[in-house]
Amino acid sequence: MATKRSALRILLLMVIATGLMFTVSANLRLSSLREVHHELLMRVGLFEESDLTKVHVVRAGVPEDLITSEMSNCKIWRYRLSIPAKYHLCYQNHQGLVKADAPGGLGGSSRTWGSPNPEPSEVVFSVSFVQDNGEWTLSVNHIGGASSHAVPKDFDINSVDDLVVEEVVDFGVTRSFSADEPICLLRIREKNEALNRDGTKKQGLYRGFVFYLFEKQREKAFSAWASGQVSAMQEVK
């Protein structure tokens, strides 16, 4: 009888040990899969939302084959956007003196459009600051085209920690917007208001850059907002 009990105990211990081994193995595999998923979120930018009536934005890494030897010192923000069917996207860029919570300001600006797609689609938007021979150049690339602008020599984009950088979303997260909402994709500005020649502050204006996306049907309201009519639209925080 004692021998049988010992055999049963040994058998039970073997079953428990085997179960523990399978559990540990499964947990290791799950951990590995989570790491792969996290890496894809960082590098590619995976959408975690499926509502095709909204605009979804994720930040994506920059593929190595897009970085040339001339771009050894660069700052890049790259986003993937999931666009609803028939969404007529419009981009507005502004550089010079920008506002902290709205489009418009003083300086240069540009507005471009992309053609609406009858089906939901994905597009890529990127902002790059590239240094060459000690001078920085801003490059903006999207489905509506590309543009480049010189960055003022005294605007220290290299010291990002000394600037206010507002991104629509960080790595590993999906942010969603209604189709009629304006989207501030990226705002980079100095922390302190710009100064007039006499040393007084330019109220509500900062040296920097800002990049917006909105639906073209909302262009009139967006322009009114940029002109100072705060009731026309509101920035989504």
pLDDT attached to residue 42: 46
pTM: 0.78
Task: Provide the domain count of the chain.
Answer: 2
Residue 92: count of CB within 10 angstroms of its CB: 22
Return the percentage of the chain with pLDDT > 70, whole number: 75
pLDDT attached to residue 177: 96
- Residues with Cβ within 8 Å of residue 109, at least 6 apart in sequence: 92, 93, 94, 95, 96
Q: What is the pLDDT of residues 141-167, one digit of tens each?
A: 887 778 888 899 889 888 888 999 999
Mean predicted lDDT score pLDDT of the chain:
83
Task: With beta carbons less than 8 A apart as the criterion, state whether 79 and 185 touch.
Answer: yes
Task: With beta carbons less than 8 A apart as the criterion, state whether 109 and 94 touch.
Answer: yes
Is residue 113 domain-shared with residue 4, that is, in the same domain?
Answer: no
Say whether pLDDT at 67 is over 80: no
Task: With beta carbons less than 8 A apart as the criterion, state whether 59 and 165 touch.
Answer: no
Rounded to whole angstroms, the Cα distance separating 180 from 48 reads 21
In a domain, 145, yes or no: yes
Rounded to whole angstroms, the Cα distance separating 100 from 83 reads 26
In a domain, 235, yes or no: no
- 30: containing domain: 1-43
pLDDT attached to residue 77: 95
In a domain, 48, yes or no: no
pLDDT attached to residue 40: 46
In a domain, 237, yes or no: no
pLDDT attached to residue 147: 86
Q: What average pLDDT score do residues 127-144 get?
A: 87
Is residue 92 domain-shared with residue 204, that is, in the same domain?
Answer: yes
Joined together, the tokens standing for residue 132 give 């060459």
Is residue 115 domain-shared with residue 190, that is, in the same domain?
Answer: yes
Is residue 97 domain-shared with residue 154, that is, in the same domain?
Answer: yes
pLDDT attached to residue 83: 94
pLDDT attached to residue 120: 93
Higher pLDDT among residues 189 and 14, named by residue = 189
pLDDT attached to residue 211: 96
